[in-house]
Amino acid sequence: MSSSRFPIPQGTLDMLILQIVSLGPAHGYGIAQRLQQISREAVQVNQGSLYPALHRLEQKGWLRAEWRQSETGREAKFYSLTAAGRKQLAVEKNSWARLAGAVQLIFNESNR
Amino acid sequence: MNWFRRKKLENNLDRELRYHFERRIQELQQSGLPEKEAYRQAMLELGGVAQIQEEVRDVWMARWVRDFVYDLRFSVRSFRKTPSFTITAILSLMLGIGATTAIYSLVDQLLLHALPVRQPDRLVLIDWKGDQVANGFGSWNLMSYPICRDLDQQKQFFEGVFCRALTIVNLSTGSDYRPATAEIVSGNYFPVLGVGPALGQVLTNDDDRRPNANPVTVISYDFWRTQLGGARDVIGRKLLVNRHPLTIIGVAASTFRGIDVGEVPSLWIPASMSAEVIPGFNDLQDRRTRWMQVLGRLNPDMTSHQAQVGLQPWFKAMLEDDMRRPGFPVITAERRQGFLESSIVVTPAPQGHSSLRRRLLEPLWVLFAVTAVLLGLACLNVSGLFLARGSARDREIGTRLALGASRGRLGRQLLTDSLLIALLGGLLGTVAAPLAVRTLIALLPSGGIATFSGSTDGTALHANVDVRLLLFALAASVAAGVLSGLAPAWQSGRRELVSSLRERGGAAFSSVRLRKVIVTAQIALTLVLVVTAALFVRTLDALMAKGPGFPTASLVSFGIDAQRSGYSEAEGNRLIRRIDETIRHSPIVQASSVARFALLTGGSWNDPMTILADKRFSTDDVNLNSVTPGFFQTMGIRLIAGRNFDDRDISAPGERDWRSAIVNEAFVKRYLGGRNPVGIRICEGSGPDAKPNTRIVGVVSNFSYRGIREDSEQAYFPFQGEGAATFYVRVRGTGPSSFRELRSIVRSVNPTLPLTNLRTVKEQVDRSLNTEHMLATLSGGFGVLALLLSLVGLYGVMSFVVTQRTREIGIRMALGAKSRSAIWLVLRDALTMVLFGVGIGLPVVWSLGRLVESQLYDVKPFDPAAAAVAVLALCSAGLGAAFLPARRASIINPTDALRAE
């Protein structure tokens, strides 16, 4: 369900979110800021796909959410990784690595 | 799940997004952008907030569920805004679905529902096809008790075979005697059916071994509860059945009510006790007495066809064997042939055996078809209402289409509308159905021997709503909803987008055409119903006009059965004569007489006869009765030739044959055509050993014996020596005023003798026409309803058309047309619809007419009079419905019409 304007696939966005949250609980804005870094350098991430993704991950039980006081003093919804989410992240990282490796292999082949 | 937290979820999402938004604005402002710029930038980055919300909502709950819920709430809201539409639509469907469900309840219970026994699909009915060369009594599908026991030995095909017969007994639990229905059964009845006891035990084969040795009975659960108060100590108690004591050994399971849905027995008695239960009956072991229905349970891997084929060799061998036995009646060679060519028939019988079913099979399906047509009409009505409403929503729909809604989505909304109406109508209809069912059950003719008796045991039919009925109602509602919604949904899909937005009234002509088609279809269906109703009403009329053939004013009848009260035949006869004497001397009585069998009960004593005129020949079945000398005078039946019975005709003791007989006109016409009947010898029975020793002494005019419809050949013998009879009394004053006096007269002769079926003969006539009454009343009622529904539809369309064509009519009037032509415009439109509807409906009526032919009397399905009346009724009603809109058209002011938009 990612917007057709930005080519990052839904699965990749999910993986990135899980990774970002694994470093520590974060609210939607914070995750967006991190994703901005990525989009500045390589790929653009639609802010509009972020929140549906967050809620989907929460529905699936990979993220847990709670309302806490943020760094500005106002209340914000913080997402953190669940045990199942941690496991899923490992699985995704694994698949990503294998995919990257396979792609690299093909590139090496064609270069030879 | 998420549905209930909806509000909280929405609020939180709102907060979340707002937090994000404000943080971004802050950040942008900090980097130097002015507030307005920062705001705009943040907005652009976030993209469409509404879209984000929608996508998150999709995560919470699937899209189609949300759409459906939204459609539902939208429907409810819009319905509440137009209460008259909503109420009319719901009422229409409530009527249609309620009526269909009510009739279906009866159809299900009587025709479809299997018995509440173990694996009813393995039950079969075994019957004799061909000449059984046997005498008997009872209803249908009868065979003898020995054949049943023989079949029970055929373990290759059957797990077991039982037989049963219903009879009326005089029952006493303590003090008073009342008639009750009892079922005489072979010992293995309960085990083969797989029915167990609620208390105590059931009958087994051991109870059926030796005649008269097992005075036991099993009572029904209902009898136990209502008559014995559900007392736990009934086991071992004695009941007096025809004055014989029987010990109660058990109470049957609560759901079991016998195998005949039309007649529920109070108790079951082993066949070994049949001599006590049926006074004067000694033929239990006689192979040539047929009086029981034989049913069996097939083995697990056996089909009824296989069993039937497999049994033929055994059956043929049995036929040969039977013929060689001593006591086989003397019959002609021709009949012998017929006997040997008989075969045995095995048919599936998961619903048991019922005379009521046989009688009501066709009428019920006819009624079911009628209610289905009514439901179709109601759906068409609602369709029309929706279309009318739809054209008022043209702009809304056009706007939605312009905003990007798919036509499928809109169609779904409309379908939800109609489904909601249909489900509400169905719910209300199901709630009202039990009342309708109860009324119907009261209208139903009583089946089988209950009409012979005074028994009030009734049928196993009930008005409860069970799961099957609910499922049927649900299915009918959904079907009605879809049907009603098709036209509007299809219509909306075709609507031109631009034109619907442009004009204020909307381009609704295509919807008018569709509405006209709907009204035409309604007219056609209504014609079918009205003609059907006309046919049934004419049938009933014809039958009532024909009458029983004798005057029924102040004529009362009741039955006395002394033998059931334990008297011998001779004693019983003396009692009856004394009662007859006493009644005759009562001041309120004009005349009184006695007949062995009652008239107008649907049954009779019948037998073929042998006539010795110039040559000897035998007849087909003749309806027979024996009557006292004053019978025909009491009944007001004309004597055409010869004389009435008198003392000369009483046979001396020891004389076996009747001395005299009186026959009716039909008998003379058919068998003695031209000859002088008085003096000719006849006798009962048609075998070669029949001796025609009875002289015909008189001829009476035709009158009804079994029922109003039949005009059979009848013969009457003198009443003598019988212990049971029906009294016919012509009283002074009205019938019911004499009841008390008659009762006290009988009581004065014998206080314990019950009167059965004390009623006026006029009421008996009405009862015998119960089915016809039911058909006429119901189809008439439905016909009127159908007419109303169609008229409402017609009025709606014409009213709309006038509104639509106001400008056109105004222009015509401005150009010089008279108001008359405006009226004619509207009426012509209405008449066209009616005539088209009639044109479609008439062929349908004529092609379906064949199906109801058997229910009619003296009127053909293609009866031109009925059709003409129906067509006339529809045309005038149609014109009446169009009258108001036509008047409105005639008073259109041209300037107003042109000015208004």
pLDDT tens-digit profile of B93-124? 998 899 999 999 999 988 888 999 999 999 99
Which residue, among B212, B246, B277, has the nearest Cα to B563 in the 3D structure?
Answer: B277
Average pLDDT of the residues in B648-665 = 87
Strand partners, A68: A76
Q: Give the pLDDT of residue B494.
A: 66
Contact B55 A77 (CB under 8 A): no
Q: DSSP letter for B348, please.
A: E
Note whether B798 and B830 are within 8 A (CB): yes
What lies within 8 Å, CB to CB, of B634 at 6+ separation is B591, B592, B593, B728, B729, B730
User: A48 touching B, CB under 8 A?
Assistant: yes
Contact B19 A59 (CB under 8 A): no
Average pLDDT of the residues in B175-186 = 88
Strand partners, A27: A78
Helices (H), B450-502: 467-494, 497-502
Q: Check the CA dihedral B509-B511-B515-B518 and report its sign.
A: positive
Helices (H), B219-262: 221-227
Contact B20 A56 (CB under 8 A): no
| Shortest alpha-carbon distance between residue A76 and chain B (Å) | 7
Average pLDDT of the residues in B782-810 = 84
Contact B20 A55 (CB under 8 A): no
User: Residue B869: pLDDT above 90?
Assistant: no
CB-closest option in A3, A51, A72 to B16 = A51
Contact residues on chain B for A48, CB-CB shorter than 8 A: 46-48, 51-52, 55
Give the residue from A13, A14, A29, A49 with the most B CB atoms within 10 Å of its CB, the best one to mutate. A29
| Shortest alpha-carbon distance between residue B159 and chain A (Å) | 59
Looking at residue B630, its amino acid is G
Q: Is B691 helix (H, G, I), strand (E, B) or coil?
A: coil
CB-closest option in A55, A59, A74 to B19 = A74
CB-closest option in B12, B26, B56 to A52 = B56
Give dist(CA A60, CA A18) in Å, integer. Answer: 12
Percent of chain B at pLDDT above 70?
95
What lies within 8 Å, CB to CB, of A64 at 6+ separation is A58, A79, A80, A81, A82, A85
Note whether B448 and B141 are within 8 A (CB): no
User: A38 touching B, CB under 8 A?
Assistant: no
Contact residues on chain A for B13, CB-CB shorter than 8 A: 51, 55
Contact A77 B19 (CB under 8 A): yes
Contact B56 A55 (CB under 8 A): yes
Q: Is B132 helix (H, G, I), strand (E, B) or coil?
A: coil
Contact A51 B48 (CB under 8 A): no
Cα Dmax for chain B? 137
CB-closest option in A48, A72, A74 to B47 = A48
Note whether B331 and B339 are within 8 A (CB): yes
Note whether B140 and B128 are within 8 A (CB): no
Contact residues on chain A for B52, CB-CB shorter than 8 A: 48, 51-52
Contact residues on chain A for B12, CB-CB shorter than 8 A: 67, 77
Average pLDDT of the residues in B184-212 = 91
Contact B17 A48 (CB under 8 A): no
Q: How far apart are the first and last CA of chain A?
A: 38
| Shortest alpha-carbon distance between residue A35 and chain B (Å) | 13
Contact B19 A55 (CB under 8 A): no
Q: Give the pLDDT of residue A45.
A: 63
Give per-residue pLDDT as tens, B192-201. Answer: 999 999 999 9
Residues 50-79 of A with CB under 8 A from B: 51-52, 55-56, 59, 67, 70, 72, 74-77
Note whether B882 and B795 are within 8 A (CB): yes
Give per-residue pLDDT as tens, A61-82. Answer: 999 999 999 888 889 999 999 9
B568 is written with which tokens?
Answer: 């011998």
Q: Give the pLDDT of residue B488.
A: 78
| Shortest alpha-carbon distance between residue B415 and chain A (Å) | 29
Q: Nearest chain B Cα to A53, which residue?
A: B56
Kindly tell me the burial class for residue B195, based on how many C-beta atoms sit within 10 Å of its own C-beta (0-12, 13-18, 19 or more).
buried
Count of pairs with CB atoms under 8 A, one residue in A, one in B: 57
Q: Edge-to-edge strands of the sheet including A63-69? A: A26-27, A75-81, A63-69
CB-closest option in A52, A67, A74 to B52 = A52
Contact residues on chain B for A77, CB-CB shorter than 8 A: 12, 15-16, 19
Note whether B859 and B542 are within 8 A (CB): yes
Give dist(CA B757, CA B766) in Å, integer. Answer: 14
Contact residues on chain B for A72, CB-CB shorter than 8 A: 23, 26
Strands B714-718 and B616-627: parallel
Looking at residue A27, its amino acid is H
Q: Give the pLDDT of residue B1.
A: 56
| Sheet strands (E) in B823-869 | none
Strand partners, B248: B217
Contact residues on chain A for B46, CB-CB shorter than 8 A: 47-48
Q: DSSP letter for B187, please.
A: T
For residue B275, the tally of other CB atoms under 10 A from its CB is 16
Phi, psi (deg, nearest 5) at residue B177: -105, 135
Average pLDDT of the residues in B178-187 = 91
- Which residue shows structure tokens 């294998």? A98
Q: Give the pLDDT of residue B888.
A: 82
Average pLDDT of the residues in A29-50 = 74
Percent of chain A at pLDDT above 70?
81
User: A3 touching B, CB under 8 A?
Assistant: yes
Contact A29 B58 (CB under 8 A): no
For residue B91, the tally of other CB atoms under 10 A from its CB is 16
B40 is written with which tokens?
Answer: 């705009």
Q: Give the pLDDT of residue A5.
A: 45
Pick A73 or B143 by higher pLDDT: B143
Give dist(CA B691, CA A94) in Å, integer. Answer: 109
Give per-residue pLDDT as tens, B408-424. Answer: 777 788 888 889 999 99
Q: Nearest chain A Cα to B61, which residue?
A: A59
Q: Nearest chain A Cα to B26, which residue?
A: A72
Contact B20 A28 (CB under 8 A): yes
Pick A60 or B43 by higher pLDDT: A60
Note whether B292 and B141 are within 8 A (CB): no
Average pLDDT of the residues in B340-367 = 91
| Shortest alpha-carbon distance between residue A102 and chain B (Å) | 33
pLDDT band at B718 (very low <50, low <70, confident <90, very high): very high
User: A23 touching B, CB under 8 A?
Assistant: no
Cα B755 off chain centre by: 30
Looking at residue B566, its amino acid is G
pLDDT band at A112 (very low <50, low <70, confident <90, very high): low
Contact B19 A29 (CB under 8 A): yes
Note whether B257 and B220 are within 8 A (CB): yes
Q: Nearest chain B Cα to A5, which residue?
A: B47
Give dist(CA B298, CA A108) in Å, integer. Answer: 78
| Shortest alpha-carbon distance between residue A29 and chain B (Å) | 5
User: Which region among A25-34, A48-57, B734-743, B800-809 has the lowest average model confidence (pLDDT)?
Assistant: B800-809
Question: CA Rg, chain A, in Å?
Answer: 16
Contact residues on chain A for B45, CB-CB shorter than 8 A: 47
Which residue, among B756, B828, B459, B749, has the nearest Cα to B598 in the 3D structure?
Answer: B756
Q: DSSP letter for B614, please.
A: S
Contact B52 A76 (CB under 8 A): no
Give dist(CA B121, CA B341) in Å, integer. Answer: 30
Residues of B with CB under 8 A from a CB of A: 12-13, 15-17, 19-20, 23-24, 26, 45-48, 51-52, 55-56, 58-60
User: A40 touching B, CB under 8 A?
Assistant: no
Q: Is B676 helix (H, G, I), strand (E, B) or coil?
A: coil
pTM (2 d.p.): 0.79
Contact residues on chain A for B50, CB-CB shorter than 8 A: none
Strand partners, B670: none
Note whether B124 and B114 are within 8 A (CB): no
Give the residue from B52, B54, B60, B63 with the most A CB atoms within 10 Å of its CB, the best one to mutate. B52
Give dist(CA B333, CA B318) in Å, integer. Answer: 18
pLDDT band at B837 (very low <50, low <70, confident <90, very high): very high
Q: Check the CA dihedral B338-B341-B342-B348 and report its sign.
A: negative
Pick B149 or B214 by higher pLDDT: B149
Phi, psi (deg, nearest 5) at residue B725: -165, 170
| Shortest alpha-carbon distance between residue A3 and chain B (Å) | 10
| Shortest alpha-carbon distance between residue B49 and chain A (Å) | 8
Strands B660-664 and B694-700: parallel
Give dist(CA B385, CA B93) in Å, integer. Answer: 12
CB-closest option in A48, A55, A74 to B59 = A55
Give per-residue pLDDT as tens, B613-655. Answer: 888 888 889 999 999 999 999 999 999 999 999 888 888 877 8
pLDDT band at B509 (very low <50, low <70, confident <90, very high): low
User: Residue B583: pLDDT above 50?
Assistant: yes
Give dist(CA B111, CA B363) in Å, integer. Answer: 12
